[in-house]
Amino acid sequence: MTTAFRPLNPQTAASSSRARLFFVDNLRWTMILLVLSMHAADTYSPLGNWYFVDREPIGPFTLFFFAVWQMYLQSFFMGLLFFLAGYFVPGSYDRKGPARFIRERGFRLGLPVLFYMFVLGPITEYFCAHSWNSTEATSFAHEWIKHIRNGQFLQENGPLWFCLGLMIFSVVYAIWRVYGSAYTRQRESREPPGSATLAGFALAMALFTFVTRLVFPAGSSFLNMHLGDFPQYILLFGAGILAARHDWLPKLTFARGARWLMVVLPVGFAAWIALLFAGGMVKGNGKVYSGGWHWQAAGINLWEAFTCVAICYGLLVIYRQSYNEQGRVEKFLSDNAFSVYVFHPPILILLARLLHPVTWPVLAKFAALTVLSAICTFVLSAGVFRRIPLLRTIL
């Protein structure tokens, strides 16, 4: 592993903006590690949903930790992945044209979704999570056929909902490029957004989310996509496209990112605590935060949006400045990150089952499950999954 990382100043970044952006690769595998940690938290926390749960009574400190960890992760980590994906869409489209772009999007994103829906998801449900319940003795083949026949497979894309959503966004982008006469392929270098624009973007995100959750409350899903979260994903995907078109990533201001983190995180944390107590979350009145004409829903949307913008901007400039190199370990993590994203559910569940009889504190089991699942999934991805010919082409 690289022992030191050379800071990247804006001039250096600008000259290498068309070279490989190692800090983006490093951000990607970092976010995927956070996805694993989120699902490990879902295993033990009463606040999330997951294939397999191993929950026991927990104290207020443990509950508070899970609330902070899960709600803060949920506020930004998938949105940042959509931003990073959006950043590379215009260049890919320009190189390939609409037909090849859509064809390759279908191959790179659609095939993994189908693989999970018809193969890995059913294996995870039947053999690992034991979440396919039947009133009579049955077999995997029988349950698999029933899974297809009753249409359950449409909801069985696991974490690959991200690929499905990204494929839809990419197709919409291609259609807009074909019929959007005002677009030009030439980059238009502009200054990145200032704090006022970022604040306006966060306000727009909060409003868009509030309106969407009037119809699709947080937690409701279509094809396993939580539509109440999609305003953030749509806006950040679009922001990634704009960042590529105007060459923003090398020019994002480190000082601005630091200021947003230093202001939004402490102020937002205090506001979040006040919101949970004043709105009734601590007394079990959590439904009003999920959507509808409730001030609690508006408040949590506002908190999510500003937290998202602050953390995304902050991580982008921090990684660009301090983590824009890759040693052997970082390259290994980057090369296997998508495979880990696809395959981590069954491995994490099996490890959670092995940890079930261990009488550790819940937070210790959560930490152990996160670390063990990350190590095992990365090792298996490199040593097994990406060596299988049919899988290697889509991983």
The ranges of the chain with pLDDT < 50 are 1-17
Instruction: List, as one string, the DSSP characters of 185-237.
Output: SS----PPP-HHHHHHHHHHHHHHHHHHHHHS-TT-EETTEEGGGHHHHHHHH
* Residues 198/307, Cβ–Cβ less than 8 Å: no
Q: What angle do CA 337, 151, 230 make, to 5 degrees?
A: 50
**Residue 302: is it exposed, middle or buried by C-beta count within 10 angstroms (0-12/13-18/19+)?**
buried
Can you give the pLDDT at residue 286?
87
Can you give the pLDDT at residue 48?
86
The residues, any chain, with a CB within 8 Å of residue 44's CB and separated by 6 or more, are: 53, 54, 55, 56, 58, 66, 362, 365, 366, 369
Q: What length does the chain have? A: 395
Q: What is the pLDDT of residues 118-148, one digit of tens each?
A: 999 999 999 999 888 665 667 899 889 988 9
